[in-house]
Amino acid sequence: MTETPLISVKDLSIRFRTDEGLITAVEDVSFDLAPGEVLGLVGESGSGKSVTAKALMRLNGDNTVYGEGSSIVLTPPGEAPVDVLALRREKDMRRVRGGAISMIFQEPMASFAPAISVGDQMVEQLQIHSSMTKAEAKELSIEMLARTGIPEPARRFTQYAFEFSGGMRQRAMIAMALSTKPRLLIADEPTTALDVTIQAQVIDLMKDLVTEFGMGILFITHDLGVIAQTADRVAVMYLGRLVETGTVREVIRNPGHPYTRGLIDALPKLHDLDAPLTPVPGDIPSPLNRPPGCVFHTRCHMAEKGLCDVKVPEYRIRETGQSIACHFADAPVTAKEPA
């Protein structure tokens, strides 16, 4: 990646203070995301993908401890870099949250206050992040509702979130998130709760908007199939670590990590819909019980005793740029971190 990344995450480690002691949720995660790029962050629940995404907006709770050396640098095109983890004042954080970075969630009701109309919430958000008058903010909000395919946007503007259908609410949330023209959109399982047709429409809409606004998207999901339709590159997480990154095409065509291979085998096969799905065997261990060595060794059919349960694998980089954290990946160790 030659241009300045929009967001550059380096050696990010996140722990939470709990009654049971410090729990590691994310360990040594590094990735870059370019302007106009869609990066899919994929993994089972408990893999640390949402915790990583929330760190970009400093949305994790007060019990969060960032590891020494962790760094998140946001560089909106044409602007000075912002060291996100160094932000202390609420005013500076607001410039990032909902300004440079917006987030949409699986459950859109979480984004809307129930007793305030959708339109009033959109106007309020726009006025926080711009110098628009109320009338200008209203006009733009109605335009964004229309752009996201909501019929009768002026009437919908006056309604409450509970008066919208599920798919419509999702669109309204996207309209609100995009109205401030964020440089980075974080989409956390945005289509999981939707039926397949609406899911496809929402994905198409997001892709159109990326092209139009040139923003970057971090798309978080447990579903590699959704990533295949949406993202340019993919980063696969397992128990707080990145195990494989690369272009979607390369990773899906030629996965290098046994866990990625397992996720692909668990996808329905279009050419043989009757073929049984083979989920990755076993469950993701509790973060309270992180396995030593390779975090995946308790579920890996290739694990070698005395190596995988002892030594953390370094990243091996294929010529394609695909980076794989496995002792047995078919590539030399050429760098510690994925790009």
Residues interacting with ligand SF4, by CB under 6 A?
257-258, 294, 296-297, 300, 302-303, 308, 313, 326-328
Cβ-based nearer residue to ligand SF4, 185 or 294: 294
Is the Cβ of residue 97 or residue 327 nearer to ligand SF4 in the bound state?
327
| Least distance between ligand SF4 and beta carbon 313 (Å) | 4
How many residues can be counted in the chain? 339
Q: How far is the CB of 334 from ligand SF4 (least distance, A)?
A: 17
Q: Report the residue number, 200 or 312, with the smaller CB distance to ligand SF4.
A: 312
Q: 175 near 141, Cβ under 8 Å?
A: yes
In terms of CB distance, is 138 or 316 closer to ligand SF4?
316
CA gap 101, 73 in Å, rounded: 12
- Name which of 120 and 309 has its Cβ closer to ligand SF4: 309
Q: How far is the CB of 224 from ligand SF4 (least distance, A)?
A: 17
The pair of structure tokens assigned to 168 is: 């419509």
49 φ, ψ (degrees, to nearest 5)? -70, -40
Cβ at position 187, least distance to ligand SF4 in Å: 28
Angle between helices 134-147 and 166-179 (to 10 degrees): 130
**How far apart, in whole angstroms, are the C-alpha atoms of residue 191 and residue 216?**
18
Supply the minimum distance, in Å, between the C-beta of residue 231 and ligand SF4. 22
Which tokens hold the place of 264?
A: 């692909």
Helix (H, G, I), strand (E, B) or coil at 128: helix
CB 244 within 8 A of CB 255: yes
In terms of phi and psi (left: phi > 0; alpha: psi -120 to 50; beta: otherwise), the region of 214 is: left
Handedness of CA 233, 236, 242, 243 (dihedral sign): negative
- In this structure, are residues 244 and 238 in contact, taking their beta carbons and an 8 Å threshold? no
Query: Tokens in use for 310?
Result: 């002892």
Instruction: Give dist(CA 237, CA 225) in Å, integer.
Output: 15
The CB-of-301 to ligand SF4 minimum distance in angstroms stands at 8
Of 56 and 325, nearer to ligand SF4 (C-beta) is: 325
Comparing CB distances to ligand SF4, the nearer of 271 and 301 is 301
Please report how close the Cβ of residue 293 comes to ligand SF4 at its closest, in angstroms.
7
Q: How many CB atoms lie within 10 A of CB 101?
A: 28
- 293-304 burial string, b = 16+ CB within 10 Å, else e? bbbbbbbbeebe
Least distance to ligand SF4 from the beta carbon of 299, Å? 8
Rounded Cα distance, 241 and 295, in Å: 8
Q: Which is nearer to ligand SF4, 192 or 334 (CB)?
A: 334
Of residues 55 and 325, the one with the C-beta less far from ligand SF4: 325
How far is residue 4's CA from residue 288's CA, in Å, rounded to a whole number?
A: 37
* DSSP-based three-state secondary structure for 197: helix
Q: How far is the CB of 191 from ligand SF4 (least distance, A)?
A: 29
